[in-house]
Structure 1
Amino acid sequence: MGIDLGTQSVRAVVAGDRGEILGSGAAPLTGRREGARHEQRPLDWWTALCAATRQALADAPAPRALAVCATSGTVLLADRAGRPLTPGVMYDDGRAVAEAARAGTPPSWALPRAMWLLREHGGAADGTVRITHQADSVLTRLAGTPLPTDSSHALKTGYDLVRQEWPRRRFAKLGLPDALFPDVVRPGTPIGEVGRAAAEETGIPAGTPLVAGMTDGCAAQLASGSLAVGSWNSVLGTTLVLKGVTSSPVEDPAGVVYSHRAPDGSWLPGGASGVGGGALTAAFPGVDPARMDEAARSCEPARVVAYPLVATGERFPFVAPEATGFLIGEPASDAEHWAALLTGVGLVERLCLDYLDLLGAQTYDRLTFTGGAVRSGHWSRLRADVLGRPVHIPRYSEPALGMAILAAYGAGGAGSLQEAAGRMVRLRHVLHPHPVRTAWYTEPYLTLVAELERRGWLPGRVAAHARTRAEHA
């Protein structure tokens, strides 16, 4: 079983050893967005998880093990028993700018948010609180006791993946005592089992092994089956996440790209952008996406260039806390506006890949699309055309499946992680870009790059590399 704590819902899936989906369930989530604030209630995570797991297990066999993924950079404070003391401060909450400067991390990281929470709520000095990640919160409820966190979720809280330890000397300079931080294990490690109280609420049998999970972007990487060096997965839902596999960590002095550590020891570099499907929902609440896709076909290529940022602040392929979405030009219709937003996400996706190339990341192998956006065949085709490279679409691409794969690996008997993914991931089809349509998007791409540079958000060297790549495409 895999459980995915997303932004808008909790999803659960029970999968067989050959990737067959034996049961699935989902329950919605809502949060509080006000300016730079974005919070969710931990109780809502648990309530939605219980509903999703009961749906998934209605006609499915009991799982051998389960793992949980969650949004990267979401944190809260809990007491020593693991009970939440604060709301969950979400991955795109923008209130910890001063703390980020003090900690020397991007504002999108969990560490400055944790520091902000400690300033607001206290408890660091007397040892009564602990920094807790979103996944840790529900795992505590499942087990009935606090468990070790995984190194994937701990990365943005400052965990050193090379030395495999918290940087205690650095934390001491920031006034952060050791007692604030949980023990850490590598993803795929058995860490506990479901308790009796949680079994009654979730329908998951008591004693089911719990396996340390990963962030949602890493989970989607597993679900894509793209685990060979040089392969990349683009997860598009509310926002955009790119995750790849490299033989060594990708070094980025700007801190835009960060590298997770896979259970097998390989490296999973990537970044999370603030553009995505959330911009469509904000601009056109309540519309039928399929109907809008059909209407937008006649508007391609859109004459309007869009930077479809979901909320204030950008994290990838550049860091700009003050960045806001914009349109260059005035849409002649809702259909053209929709087409511009779809295209804009693809243009930023292309810029992300160009930035990875600038850093020397290995990007030559398979590219996969996963996330909720793959339900739109039109959007996937458009993105493949914008990127100008073949794209693989798995049959089932939810991060929850990635956690089911990790649970199978962690439970033992499934071989290596790559072998487990190879058995459980099924390919739906491959999209090949159309050269004429790919050529359409060179001009709007360069227009967007120039505007981002003009606004002072995109560094000049990144813009120059993007132009060079476009010229030689």
Structure 2
Amino acid sequence: MIVGVDVGTSVTKASLLGRDGSARVTRSTRSTLHRSPGGRVEQDLDEVVDSVISVVRSVAAEADVPVQALAITGQGDGLWLRDAAGRQVGPGLSWLDARAAPVLDRWEARGVLREVHALTGSGMFPGSAAPLLAHVAEHEPERLARAEVAGYCVDAIVQRLTGRITVDASDASQPFLDVPTRTYSTAALRACGLAEFRGLLAEPAPPGELFALDARSAAQLGLPAGLPVSAGPFDLPACAFGSGTRDLGDGALVIGTTLGCQVLGDQVTIDPAGDAAGMWLATPSPDRVLRVMPAMVGTANLDWGLRMVGASVADLEDLLAASPPGAGGVAALSFLSSSGERAPFVEPRASGQFTGLSLDTSPADLVRALCEAVAYAARHNLEAAGLTGEVAACGGGARSASWSRIFASVLGRPLHVPKEEGVGARGAAMTAWDSLGEPVDREEWATARHVVEPDPAVAEFYERGYRAYLESIERARPVWRSGGGVTR
């Protein structure tokens, strides 16, 4: 058995996982997102670590056989500054944080975004590490003077539990890593004006490296000291592998807070003339990479839409049934994040819209239009990432049968949805078993999924809707760039 932990943006989950990929027991607890003016979104590292201790201790107590390892995954991007002992140097800056948008504006004007993309294949958005690091260097230099590590959520937790300063190559990939060599690009750091902070970046752990749980943390978790700890990959790639992505060209769709769209490949191909969006991620397998297009808003769109019409997630199936495909003529663009959009294009000032409204528009039409827009965004991103194979889907949105059918029909291909919900923890556990030299049967794991088929007639309708969606984006982008009445 392995204890898999997924430290999400606001929820931490732990599962006791068997080698067949099934969860024997799962526990979860919430942590706090602290929002303040200026688009600031922060987290307290102590609270996040406490959330890990709470859920791991709870599931470990249920184990009736020895636990082989602790496997950790969690949210990526953001900036988590720590000292040599793993204590936070100021709160963790979430990937949702928008304070560094002006940095991106300057970098775009000077060609920095395109230069870094040409070097590493990584696009940037306000909540990624590079602009956040530049913002802190400009406005809070004393924090960097006190920090020993500029890292991410997963490696911050690993440092607290094991005393080791490390980072998984998937986290390090964005934006400074040359993924094929797994070494940092000095040229990318220099382009961002951050070369002087190279010493704050931990060296990526080699594939298969395990760490050891220290005595103090072991006592808190109810696990033996010295237990192997696997760190990563972070949640997007962990979800891809945990949901059954295994063949070249296969895609994974994470319908969560982020709309994570990923395609598995075997080489990094960078188009210097292309839109500087998305990222290439190193994976636990040295001969495999993920092309990732992580759109900013997924289920957060749905939550907002339901609030606007006075409904809840429990009402979603009825609302979608009450409005036909096309939402009674209502169409939406789903760019509601305060940080704009980062994939498959970068527009920090992107904003949402509804068109086709009338006095006949119903609450169900508004919700369906938003759900269709998110599905169109998924197709846009997966196509940009090079999808050719099957698509696995996971995350909270995949639990809706009606929304899943919309995604399948928009994509024009079946969705393979894992029966186990905690796919991030599964992906982390799969990686841990590989590192232990006891790989699991990936074919067996992939059979534990149900298939959502597209409706051919609806798929034909959505094909036209998708073309209209792309045209709407092209009309909106000049408006966003000019300010368009939106101030951020």
Give the residue type in structure 1 aligned to 2:29: A
- 8 Å CA contact 2:125–2:348 kept in 1: the answer is yes
User: C-alpha distance in 2, partners of 1:406/1:457?
Assistant: 43
Cα distance per residue 1:84-132 (max 9 Å; x no partner): 1121111132222343444535225312212222333325885743202
What residue is the counterpart of 2:331 in the other structure?
A: 305
Matches within 5 A, 1:5-404: 5-34=7-36, 35-60=38-63, 61-100=65-104, 101-102=106-107, 104=113, 106-108=124-126, 109-123=128-142, 128-143=147-162, 145-168=163-186, 170-171=188-189, 174-190=194-210, 192-253=211-272, 254-265=275-286, 266-285=288-307, 287-301=311-325, 302=327, 303-312=329-338, 313-330=340-357, 332-356=361-385, 361=386, 363-397=387-421, 398-404=423-429
- C-alpha distance 62-28 of structure 1, shift in aligned 2 (>3 A): farther
Deviation, structure 1 residue 170: 4.8
Give the residue type in structure 2 aligned to 1:159: L
- C-alpha distance 124-93 of structure 1, shift in aligned 2 (>3 A): closer
Greater CA deviation, 70-79 or 440-449?
A: 440-449
Cα distance per residue 1:296-333 (max 9 Å; x no partner): 21202112112223412101111100011211132722
What residue is the counterpart of 2:470 in the other structure?
A: 449
User: C-alpha distance in 1, partners of 2:207/2:260?
Assistant: 19
Deviation, structure 1 residue 377: 1.2
- SS of residue matched to 1:439: helix
Count of residues in Structure 1 that have an aligned counterpart in Structure 2: 448
- C-alpha distance 170-225 of structure 1, shift in aligned 2 (>3 A): closer
- SS of residue matched to 1:81: coil
- C-alpha distance 138-40 of structure 1, shift in aligned 2 (>3 A): same
- C-alpha distance 169-239 of structure 1, shift in aligned 2 (>3 A): closer
Give the residue type in structure 1 aligned to 2:314: A
- C-alpha distance 232-186 of structure 1, shift in aligned 2 (>3 A): farther
- SS of residue matched to 1:14: strand
Cα distance per residue 1:412-452 (max 9 Å; x no partner): 222xxxx5433444423112211111122233322322221
Deviation, structure 1 residue 168: 3.5
User: C-alpha distance in 2, partners of 1:30/1:153?
Assistant: 22
With the length of structure 2 as denominator, give the TM-score of the two structures. Answer: 0.86
What residue is the counterpart of 2:443 in the other structure?
A: 422
Find the partner of 1:434 among 435, 455, 465: 455
- SS of residue matched to 2:55: helix
Greater CA deviation, 117-126 or 366-375?
A: 117-126
- 8 Å CA contact 2:278–2:342 kept in 1: the answer is no
Greater CA deviation, 372-381 or 292-301?
A: 292-301
2:430 corresponds to 1:405 = yes
- 8 Å CA contact 1:236–1:276 kept in 2: the answer is yes
User: C-alpha distance in 1, partners of 2:218/2:231?
Assistant: 18
Cα distance per residue 1:343-371 (max 9 Å; x no partner): 11101111113323xxxx3x221111111
- 8 Å CA contact 2:32–2:43 kept in 1: the answer is yes
User: C-alpha distance in 1, partners of 2:404/2:152?
Assistant: 32
What residue is the counterpart of 2:486 in the other structure?
A: none
Cα distance per residue 1:2-56 (max 9 Å; x no partner): 2111112011112111222122111112212345222222122112212221232
- 8 Å CA contact 1:260–1:269 kept in 2: the answer is yes
- SS of residue matched to 1:299: coil
Greater CA deviation, 21-30 or 35-44?
A: 35-44
Give the residue type in structure 1 aligned to 2:377: V
- C-alpha distance 136-236 of structure 1, shift in aligned 2 (>3 A): same
- C-alpha distance 135-314 of structure 1, shift in aligned 2 (>3 A): same
- SS of residue matched to 1:430: strand
- SS of residue matched to 1:149: coil
- 8 Å CA contact 2:409–2:455 kept in 1: the answer is yes
- 8 Å CA contact 1:129–1:180 kept in 2: the answer is yes
- C-alpha distance 427-321 of structure 1, shift in aligned 2 (>3 A): same
User: C-alpha distance in 1, partners of 2:22/2:375?
Assistant: 31
Cα distance per residue 1:205-231 (max 9 Å; x no partner): 322111231121100011111111110
Deviation, structure 1 residue 133: 0.9
- C-alpha distance 163-328 of structure 1, shift in aligned 2 (>3 A): same
- C-alpha distance 204-152 of structure 1, shift in aligned 2 (>3 A): same
Task: Give the alignment's Cα RMSD to 1 decimal.
Answer: 2.3
Structure 1: 5+ residue runs without aligned partners? 460-473
- 8 Å CA contact 2:230–2:428 kept in 1: the answer is no
User: C-alpha distance in 1, partners of 2:443/2:76?
Assistant: 25
What residue is the counterpart of 2:484 in the other structure?
A: none
- SS of residue matched to 2:183: coil
Structure 2: 5+ residue runs without aligned partners? 117-123, 481-488
Give the residue type in structure 1 aligned to 2:218: A
Deviation, structure 1 residue 177: 3.5
- SS of residue matched to 1:456: helix
Greater CA deviation, 167-176 or 19-28?
A: 167-176
- 8 Å CA contact 1:127–1:179 kept in 2: the answer is no
